[in-house]
Amino acid sequence: MENKKISIVILTKNNSKTIGKVLSQIHKQQINKDFEVIIVDSGSSDDTIDIISAFNDKLYRIQPGNFGHGRTRNLASGYGSGDYIVYLSADAIPANENWLNNLVEKLDDESVAATFGRQIPFENTPPMERFFIQRNYPQIKNEPYLMKDFNMNSFFSNVNSAIKRSVWNKMNFNEGLIISEDYEWAKRVFDSGYGIEYVPDAPVYHSHNYGLKQVFKRYFDSGVSFSQMDLKPGVIQKGMGYFLDEMRFVAHESLTMIPYAICYDFFKFLGFFFGLHNRWIPGYMKIHLSMHSYYWKNGL
């Protein structure tokens, strides 16, 4: 079998708490393919650059105002020479030494264009976030990956993914989206007849501990991206079942968390609703409602 080269792409900004662990785990990988690590930093002001400098990896730096989720991943991908491109978040820590091999193994199949791996929440993650991650990135693959309409159990994610460069050459990431460039890319690829595989045996530790303000902003941006993609997710119909399952999960852990969990989901819904209808909101307000304020400052 041909020894395909791998380019691992990581985007950083103020990730000093995790980037050292991420890079250490990458360089411990047991794999018989050659790989390179390409890091693009967009204006870190903490110790991120110093930590990266301790590793023999390729580091590129851009101005914060030039960052974009699709744009910067396209830029970083172009810096690499690998036949396979792996995307890994700067706060996603590979869970074992076989992560990389398992993630790219299925790309040797001609019919498979991309893979994405499991995400395991950190121990201090709120139950609402843990429920979301465990539901969307299960330990066992139950069914083939599908993208019919909006499937809440099929989130291709650049937190932990791999794609063939030959496919990326034909279909770059959409640079106009505020976020969700991974979901939009996967939908185009899937609709073009390519296969995508979920690989639970390629896990990373990754989760967020958002407060109410942060979760509003995160889902505001999600709503914006859905409006940009002209998607109709059917939040009320599909969201109610998810909400009830989530409340049962939270109650099983702690009944006292139920009131906060309801508030948490309300802020998620509110943020998503306003993001979905952002065309009615003045630009100067969007800067404060969004987690990605640079997007609106740049007039995108």
* Helix (H) / strand (E) containing 86: strand 84-88
Nearest in space to 224 (alpha carbons), one of 171, 184, 255, 263: 184
177 lies in the same domain as 123: yes
Domains contained in the chain, number = 2
Residue linked to tokens 């409602």: 289
Could you give the CA distance from residue 94 to residue 105 in angstroms, rounded to a whole number? 16
Two tokens, residue 49: 């650059």
241 lies in the same domain as 142: no
The CATH number assigned to the domain holding 199 equals: 3.90.550.10
Start-end of H helices in 144-257: 165-170, 181-191, 212-228, 235-253
Confidence of residue 289 (pLDDT cuts 50, 70, 90): very high
Specify the pLDDT at position 2: 60
Residue 1 belongs to some domain of the structure: no
218: amino acid identity, one letter: R
165 lies in the same domain as 104: yes
Domain of residue 277 covers 212-297
234 lies in the same domain as 188: no
Residue 255 belongs to some domain of the structure: yes
Specify the pLDDT at position 1: 43
Coil/strand/helix, residue 293: helix
Q: What are the percentages of helix, strand and coil residues in the chain, rounded to 5?
A: 45, 15, 35
Residue 82 belongs to some domain of the structure: yes
247 lies in the same domain as 107: no
Residues 232-249 pLDDT 10s: 766 555 678 889 999 999
The fraction of the chain above a pLDDT of 70, given in percent, is 92
Two tokens, residue 59: 């580091």
Specify the pLDDT at position 300: 55
Nearest in space to 158 (alpha carbons), one of 7, 9, 38, 4: 9
- pLDDT above 70 for 154: no
- pLDDT above 90 for 127: yes
